Chains A and B, each alone.
Chain A
């Protein structure tokens, strides 16, 4: 068992999983915030565009999105995200497209998490803010958005956990992350429960603290109503 861990770079594979998670999480947060703003905007066309994106992406399998990024966008449409002349261009392209695909997919869920946070704010809060004479931007800044962000912490945590686990799908387009390495090991060596368990445990270790952190944060910051 231990010689297997020596022969294969398990920690390196998990490091790739972490890198995928962090970069896609940042991307998803940025795109998702823009989408959420569009979806609650008072302008009908922006709301429609946001809803169209969310409904389309959310109902498409992540696998399809990543395979489309790799086969469709990279190989057929030749949209390179890495310098084609560099020796590592294939690997870099796969990783970067995986990050783009993961970010685009989870942005839809980030958007819904943020929107559900806005939905937790009772109408009376806005009315109270207006009635004491706060301007539009003051009432957003001081009253509504702080409550909305607190309300969306728990669902955002769920999205981050899901994202961590969904980085495994990147192995389908050839990114050398944890699940891809496990596949390699069980194919070449032995399909023992121990190997599966080590990798499964890796994901438990990655996701458990995130869950605990976000749960306690959302409890601590919950708005008393």
Chain B
């Protein structure tokens, strides 16, 4: 509880009374919000039990939600693999001693990091569909995967670069002094260490990819959000269907976030965690574009950890 210690003293009798009042206010706020939501739902007839119980029938899951979820996971899984390859390639490119390669990789990475994912999806889908590159069934998947790969690959490239930069300079000096070329030093000494330290951030990036795959609904990719929309149309229960879809997303992503935190703690126990003073202070690299959050945000929970 380091934040509490920085900001507040241990409470005395007066402060404890004040805290009790705020506790009551907090409960009141929660209760009023909940009551307002329920009242509004009731007023529009959205609390009808049949609307919600139908979500637990087998058809809703086998016909809509499970295929949708599989499509979401498929897109995310393919994208993270491609993004990792893209990120490694361009991350190494940005660290290359060759100036034109470094410069070109920099332009590619910066460009795809600042272009919205949805803009890419619209464009690639139109190109693929117009020329029918992947067949009618796969055009939207290809557009989703390509857009997610380009954006998240660029973010990973930055992670690779900042990871290598945060290593102690003795590492590369040792490599060079035993006669390795700069390329060999990068590949066999710096990258393995940087990648281990990057692991939590990579899991965090997976959360970003999972969330962004929901954009596929805009280009007719049949993922989970689209499935929820279809359930809402078929059974006339739009709100329950969306609430359920949100719940599924939250459970998966929260699970991933927690496992990212575990990985990070495990690494730092072995003394190989992300080092302090890496990429901090540079806007856009610590917290990525569509957010979900590498490093800084990887650990969430009740008690904020010590400042890293």
Contact = CB atoms under 8 A, between A and B. Distances in A.
Given A130-B9, A158-B284, A72 B238 contact: yes
A90 interface: no
A158 B286 contact: yes
B44 A78 contact: yes
B58 interface: no
Interface in A190-205: 191, 195-196, 199-200, 203-204
Contact of A203 (B5, B6, B8, B116): B116
Contacts of A178: 119
Interface in B285-308: 286-293, 296-297, 300-302, 304, 306-308
Contacts, number: 234
Contacts of B165: none
Contacts of A208: 114
Contacts of A130: 9
Contacts of A44: 23
A64 B249 contact: yes
A119 B307 CA distance: 5
B242 A211 contact: no
A80 interface: no
Interface string A76-98: 11110000000000000000000
Contacts of A63: 214-215, 217-218, 225
A138 interface: no
Contacts of B11: 42
Interface in A36-94: 39-49, 51, 54-56, 58-64, 67-68, 71-72, 76-79
Interface string B118-150: 110011001100100000000000000000000
B93 to A, nearest CB: 20
Given A62-B290, A78-B44, A119-B304, A182 B6 contact: no
Contacts of A72: 238-239, 242
A102 B302 CA distance: 25
B3 A119 contact: yes
Given A63-B217, A67-B225, A154-B286, A203 B119 contact: yes
A59 B2 contact: no
Contact of B122 (A39, A157, A183): A183
Interface stretch (B25-33, B79-87, B265-273): B25-33
B126 A204 contact: no
B3 A115 contact: yes
Interface in A164-195: 165-166, 168-169, 171-172, 178-179, 182-183, 186-187, 191, 195
B40 A79 contact: yes
Interface of A: 39-49, 51, 54-56, 58-64, 67-68, 71-72, 76-79, 109, 112-113, 115-116, 118-123, 125-126, 130, 136, 140, 144, 154-155, 157-159, 161-162, 165-166, 168-169, 171-172, 178-179, 182-183, 186-187, 191, 195-196, 199-200, 203-204, 207-208, 210-211, 214-215, 218-219, 222
